[in-house]
């Protein structure tokens, strides 16, 4: 089988959770995606191959890129951010500086565990080679790259993700509707022992006379079947076929974007609420799980670090005691994005002929209907 690449702009006509009648709360943006936040662009490169050369096993993997300010000349402009580790058995680079300074610069990458270094270096190369980006305030950059493990289906030791794949995902990043499921970094991922992967969702809220958008993208690769809940319904207790393992397994990366003006401390609080959205699906965030949450805002330009920068910078932000609506929007969108990832995913056979089944739409609809949680 020849390698396959899929891109964000090739959003499929696959049903999403709401198409199945699942009554998630909240008002979504036009695309019900992280790209509802103006300026945010997403790119995928999906790598699927059965060729086995030089001892390399099959590829069921890829890379996802998120550009907070798009691919324009402002792609190198920093964004204020916050980070939260629900459980830390995983990696997201650049978070020490986010904790220290409250911002990061450039694109975000999400991939498999053993390709993190390749994606990190390739993002650096892409930024350096962009003539409009310039050197910036520093001679160094600290890209944000997260990972989850796809070793059940993909030969991670073969390093199938190359710099060319990363460049492809960056160069083809776009706004608009997004493909979900077996795409990008989510290609080989598993969620609650069903095929998982990439999912996205958004919420539009009204606060203090203004409209704001919260969007998220997840790479869902976690959970044990009996704990799966959808809108509070114990779906995993009823859909018991095609089990894979007995205990909590895997990780999740959740990236939350908003156009609401927030301080870094407030964005860290938003990232914590992403953890609540993850928890709503039933996981207890096991010891072996890397459940890492990042939130950023496109609303403020960060203050330049150069010697010609003004001595005092200005930062607009919402008052802390009015953030509850944003918190709920974050938890809602992360929860729905995880379910979207499973609904969109297709069955996959990977290394050693292992099969991971997709959640069956009719079966999950029947369970939801029996609990009175399905729209007519």
Active site positions, annotated: 251, 289, 291
Residue 362, classified by CB atoms within 10 Å of its CB into exposed (0-12), middle (13-18) or buried (19+), is exposed
Q: Which residue has the tokens 């310039």?
A: 134
Do residues 79 and 39 lie in contact, with contact meaning Cβ atoms separated by under 8 Å? no
Strand partners for 82 = 295
If we measure between CA atoms, which residue out of 46, 106, 45, 44 comes closest to residue 79?
106
How many residues are listed for the chain in this entry?
376
DSSP code per residue over 259-312: -S---HHHHHHHHHHHHHHHHTTT----TT-EEEEEEEESSSPPPP-STTS-SS
Do residues 144 and 108 lie in contact, with contact meaning Cβ atoms separated by under 8 Å? yes
Q: Which two three-digit tokens encode residue 222?
A: 């976690």
- Report the C-alpha gap between 268 and 255 in whole angstroms: 12
- Report the C-alpha gap between 150 and 153 in whole angstroms: 6
């Amino acid at each position: 089988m020849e390698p396959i690449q899929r891109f964000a702009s090739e959003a499929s006509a696959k049903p999403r959770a709401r198409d199945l009648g699942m009554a998630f709360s909240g008002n979504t943006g036009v695309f019900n995606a992280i790209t509802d936040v103006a300026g945010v662009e997403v790119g995928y490169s999906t790598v699927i191959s059965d060729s086995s050369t030089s001892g390399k096993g099959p590829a069921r993997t890829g890379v996802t890129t998120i550009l907070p300010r798009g691919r324009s000349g402002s792609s190198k402009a920093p964004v204020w951010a916050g980070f939260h580790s629900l459980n830390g058995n995983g990696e997201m680079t650049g978070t020490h500086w986010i904790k220290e300074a409250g911002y990061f610069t450039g694109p975000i990458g999400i991939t498999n565990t053993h390709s993190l270094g390749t994606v990190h270096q390739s993002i650096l190369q892409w930024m350096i080679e962009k003539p409009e980006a310039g050197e910036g305030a520093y001679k160094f950059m600290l890209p944000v790259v997260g990972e989850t493990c796809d070793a059940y289906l993909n030969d991670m030791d073969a390093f199938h993700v190359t710099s060319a794949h990363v460049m492809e995902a960056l160069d083809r990043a776009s706004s608009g509707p997004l493909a979900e499921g077996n795409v990008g970094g989510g290609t080989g991922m598993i969620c609650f022992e069903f095929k998982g992967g990439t999912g996205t969702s958004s919420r539009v809220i009204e606060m203090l006379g203004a409209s704001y958008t919260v969007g998220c993208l997840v790479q869902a690769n976690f959970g044990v079947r009996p704990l799966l809940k959808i809108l509070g319904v114990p779906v995993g207790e009823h859909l018991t076929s095609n089990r894979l393992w007995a205990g909590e397994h895997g990780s999740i990366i959740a990236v939350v974007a908003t156009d609401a003006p927030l301080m870094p401390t407030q964005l860290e609080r938003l990232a914590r609420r992403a953890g609540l959205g993850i928890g709503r699906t039933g996981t207890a965030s096991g010891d072996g799980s890397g459940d890492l949450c990042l939130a950023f805002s496109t609303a403020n330009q960060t203050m330049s670090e150069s010697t010609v920068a003004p001595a005092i910078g200005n930062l607009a932000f919402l008052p802390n005691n009015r953030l509850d609506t944003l918190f709920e929007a974050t938890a809602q969108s992360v929860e729905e994005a995880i379910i979207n990832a499973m609904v969109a995913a297709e069955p996959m056979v990977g290394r050693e002929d292992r099969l991971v089944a997709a959640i069956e739409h009719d079966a999950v609809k029947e369970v939801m209907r029996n609990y009175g949680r399905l729209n007519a």
